[in-house]
Amino acid sequence: GGVCYLDEIVEARKDVAVVLHPLTDDRRMLPLERTGEMLEAPSGFMLVVSYNPGYQNLLKSLKPSTRQRFVAIEFDFLPKAQEVAVVSAESGLAEGQVARLVDLAARLRALKGHDLEEGVSTRLLVYCASLIDAGMPAKEAVRAAMIEPLTDEPDVRAALLEVADSLIA
């Protein structure tokens, strides 16, 4: 009995995700077709799956029959002070410098849905802060770790760089 964590479950083939169905209902069984075995989940076993619904499209979404087998918990970005502390701890960059990056990320996140499919993740903030901590100039780090990963569109990238330039000296 433990926790089985499946990250980005929407990336699994539909026929693979369906194999989990008897494990996620009252049967609590996992059939292994190749060996003919039927594994029974002990009482302490828990299956946890995660995915980013914002990345879904028609080809990458959970089937309703799969989705309805789980309790859903939605997570948002951390409050500013907490995100600053996390990014600082992960990157080594001083909190004062990280705070400016978190402010920029908040501005860019507000643009999600306006020519941007996704906003700046905390992961991208850590990458950016790590580059700055390693000696890369802030503007270059912001471009490489926060702007370039968001879009391939030259006009959108130019607009994002304008926003970044207004906040990062």
The answer as to whether 75 is a domain residue is no
pLDDT of residue 55: 54
Asked if residue 54 has pLDDT above 90, the reply is no
**42 and 16 housed in the same domain:** yes
* Between 117 and 94, residue with greater pLDDT: 94
- Counting the structural domains of the chain, the total is 2
Are both 88 and 57 inside the same structural domain? Answer: no
Final residue belonging to a domain, choices 12, 43, 67: 67
**Mean pLDDT throughout 100-110?**
93
Residue 124 has pLDDT above 80, yes or no: yes
> 94 and 163, same structural domain?
yes
Kindly state whether residue 31 falls inside one of the protein's structural domains: yes
What integer pLDDT is reported at residue 98 of this predicted model?
97
Instruction: State whether 51 and 100 are in the same domain.
Output: no
Are residues 59 and 104 both part of a single domain?
Answer: no
- Domain residue limits at 120: 80-167
Percent of the chain at pLDDT > 90 equals: 48
| 48 or 116: which leads in pLDDT | 48
108 and 36 fall within a common domain: no
Which residue, 17, 33, 67, sits at the end of a domain? 67
Is residue 111, in this structure, part of any structural domain at all? yes
- Ranges 20-24, 109-113, 144-148, 154-158, most confident: 144-148
Report the relative pairing of strands 46-49 and 3-6 from DSSP bridges.
parallel
Residues 62 and 84 in one domain: no
For residue 73, tell me if it sits in a domain.
no
Residue 44 main-chain phi, psi, to 5 deg: -85, 5
Cα pseudo-dihedral 89, 95, 97, 102, rounded to 10: 80
pLDDT, average across residues 16-37: 89
Domain match, 89 and 119 both: yes
| Average pLDDT over every residue of 126-137 | 97
3-state secondary structure string across 46-94: EEEECCCHHHCCCCCCCCHHHHCCCCCCCCCCCCHHHHHHHHHHHHCCC
Per-residue model confidence (pLDDT) at position 80: 97
Which residue, of 22, 39, 67, is where some domain finishes? 67
Asked whether residue 74 is domain-assigned, the answer is no
